[in-house]
Amino acid sequence: MKKPIIGIDIGGTTVKTGIIDNDGNILDKWEIPTNRTNCGESIVSDIWKSLTERLDQNEMPKESVEGIGIGAPGFIDSDTGHVFEAVNIGWKNMPLSEELRAISKLPVFVTNDANAAVLGENWKGAGGNVKNLFALTLGTGVGGGIIVNGNILNGESGMAGEIGHTTVEPDGVLCNCGRRGCLETIASATGMVRQAKMKIEQHSESLLVSRYNASGNITAKDIFELANDGDVPCKDIIAYTADVLGMAISNAATLINPSKVLIGGGVSAAGEEFIQLIEDAFRNYSLARVSGICELKLAQLGNDAGIIGAAFLVKNKLQNIKF
Ligand SMILES: [Zn+2]
């Protein structure tokens, strides 16, 4: 029997860990809080402590594990497992692979969290082990990842697939990255809320304005709810967001020529109508030979995608398994 693999997904709030078998089934999983104090200096030892406890409980000696795969946030050199910077957990120049390898004496491989999720979705989720795939995540930000010729595409400085920071409005609003008009300023939950606040200033009467006046706040969920109730400003926000997303996906698909585009993240749970609008725009903007071969689907694994994909990374590196 092939050895199980450890898959770890490091996030700003929790670290999720799974013991995954060689076929991608989760044997056990748990999460611990991400301790961000002192620039996250205890995160690696926290991970190792919880992992050894859990392996003991499962009566699995450390030697029975094939290796450890990690999806981590921030800018990462995936060849060395070095994290240059991960702002939301406080790491700067963190030799992640090296540190965990030193205490675990196991092979350790690292990629960014978005890439790990894409690997997981393609292995056990909506991807179905295709060779060329593009996935994007619509959440607080907009992330993306690319599988090309069966491998994750990292790029020269780990930035491949970062569709959230492609420019869609040259004179648009300021993005977290310091530039203007990135896709993320429109198509993330935060971007949609920002659009709503601009509409509130322009429209004195609408369901949107009433909701805002009543609660003092607007969320992406409100926007979808109010659009369902027929609110015109909210319907406009959704139509514009879907159109911009469809255009951005079409541009990415024209470069990659994937057989599947997967959409995941909290905003993607907003309903079939939104996904249909994105798909309509994508088909509208795409070359027939790009669109015709490409299926657009919702991601399926939710929070488990990261740990499953991190485990796949170990198979990819140690067993040279590609999609
Ligand atoms: Zn940006």
CB of 209 closer than 8 Å to CB of 203: yes
Q: How confident is the model at residue 120 (pLDDT cuts 50, 70, 90)?
A: very high
Average pLDDT over residues 168-189: 95
DSSP H or E run through 133: strand 133-138
DSSP H or E run through 13: none
**Ligand 1: distance of its center to the CA of 167 in Å?**
8
**Ligand 1: distance of its center to the CA of 164 in Å?**
6
Q: How confident is the model at residue 248 (pLDDT cuts 50, 70, 90)?
A: very high
pLDDT of 84-97, one tens digit each? 988 888 999 999 99
**Ligand 1: distance of its center to the CA of 163 in Å?**
9
Taking 70 as the threshold, does the pLDDT of residue 321 lie above it? yes
DSSP H or E run through 44: helix 43-57
**Ligand 1: distance of its center to the CA of 6 in Å?**
33
**Ligand 1: distance of its center to the CA of 161 in Å?**
13
Residues flanking ion ligand 1, Cβ below 5 Å = 165, 175, 177, 182
**Ligand 1: distance of its center to the CA of 60 in Å?**
44
Average pLDDT over residues 103-110: 97
Task: Quote the tokens at residue 128.
Answer: 């179905």
Q: How confident is the model at residue 119 (pLDDT cuts 50, 70, 90)?
A: very high
Q: HSE on the CB side for 166, CA within 13 Å?
A: 17
**Ligand 1: distance of its center to the CA of 312 in Å?**
29
**Ligand 1: distance of its center to the CA of 172 in Å?**
11
Per the model's pLDDT, the better-predicted residue between 52 and 139 turns out to be 52
**Ligand 1: distance of its center to the CA of 180 in Å?**
7
pLDDT of 190-233, one tens digit each? 999 999 999 999 988 899 999 999 999 999 999 999 999 999 99
CA gap 71, 75 in Å, rounded: 11
H helices present in 229-304, as ranges: 232-256, 272-285, 288-291
pLDDT of 256-305, one tens digit each? 999 999 999 888 888 889 999 999 999 999 999 999 999 999 999 999 99
DSSP 296: E
pLDDT of 153-173, one tens digit each? 999 888 899 999 999 999 999
pLDDT of 107-116, one tens digit each? 999 999 999 9
> Would you state the pLDDT for residue 95?
96
**Ligand 1: distance of its center to the CA of 174 in Å?**
8
DSSP 22: T
Cβ-Cβ contacts under 8 Å for 90 (sequence gap 6 or more): 36, 38, 39, 40
**Ligand 1: distance of its center to the CA of 170 in Å?**
11
CB of 51 closer than 8 Å to CB of 106: no
**Ligand 1: distance of its center to the CA of 291 in Å?**
27
